[in-house]
């Protein structure tokens, strides 16, 4: 993994379920590091985000691992100002693992959206090798 933001389709293997979520959330085709979502004050959304990543420890350098930050951006009502940034969770797989895989996971962050926006996984460290990368985003039911 490398760069500032992690592409959501990094390993070119994605599966989607044909439900209401497909109309509420999708990977931006031109900027794959953006997981875009649709929401409004009249149709708010409650998202549950689970992410699991494992660094690979079997290489001779034992893998360095890294830190990732899950961030939500919501569109600002005033187009002259930048999008609103909300830091949701940070996780790490840094450090020695004695040549074993070392997991990084978020055990379900929830986010209540009332404006359109996008989720980003920001790489807060240098590039690092990844053994597995899996994520799940669900739209949860709620009562206003």
Are 87 and 71 a contacting pair, CB within 8 Å?
A: yes
At 111-126, the pLDDT tens digits run 999 999 999 988 887 7
Domain 21-137 has CATH 2.40.50: no
Listed by start position, the domains of the chain span: 21-137
At 52-103, the pLDDT tens digits run 877 766 655 555 667 788 999 998 877 788 888 999 988 776 665 566 656 6
What's the pTM? Answer: 0.80
Using CA atoms in the order 40, 134, 4, 115, what is the torsion angle rounded to 10 degrees?
0
């Amino acid at each position: 993994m490398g760069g500032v933001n992690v592409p959501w389709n990094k390993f070119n293997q994605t599966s989607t379920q044909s439900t209401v979520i497909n109309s509420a959330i999708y990977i931006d085709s031109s900027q794959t590091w953006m997981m875009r979502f649709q929401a409004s004050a009249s149709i708010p959304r409650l998202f549950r985000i689970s992410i699991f990543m494992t660094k690979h420890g079997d290489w001779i350098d034992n893998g360095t691992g890294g830190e990732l930050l899950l961030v939500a951006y919501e569109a600002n009502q005033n187009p002259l100002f930048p999008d609103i940034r909300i830091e949701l969770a940070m996780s790490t797989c840094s450090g020695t693992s004695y040549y074993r895989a070392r997991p990084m996971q978020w055990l379900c962050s929830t986010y209540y959206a009332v404006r359109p926006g996008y989720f980003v996984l920001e790489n807060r460290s240098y590039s690092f090798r990844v053994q597995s990368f899996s994520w799940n985003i669900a739209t949860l039911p709620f009562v206003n």
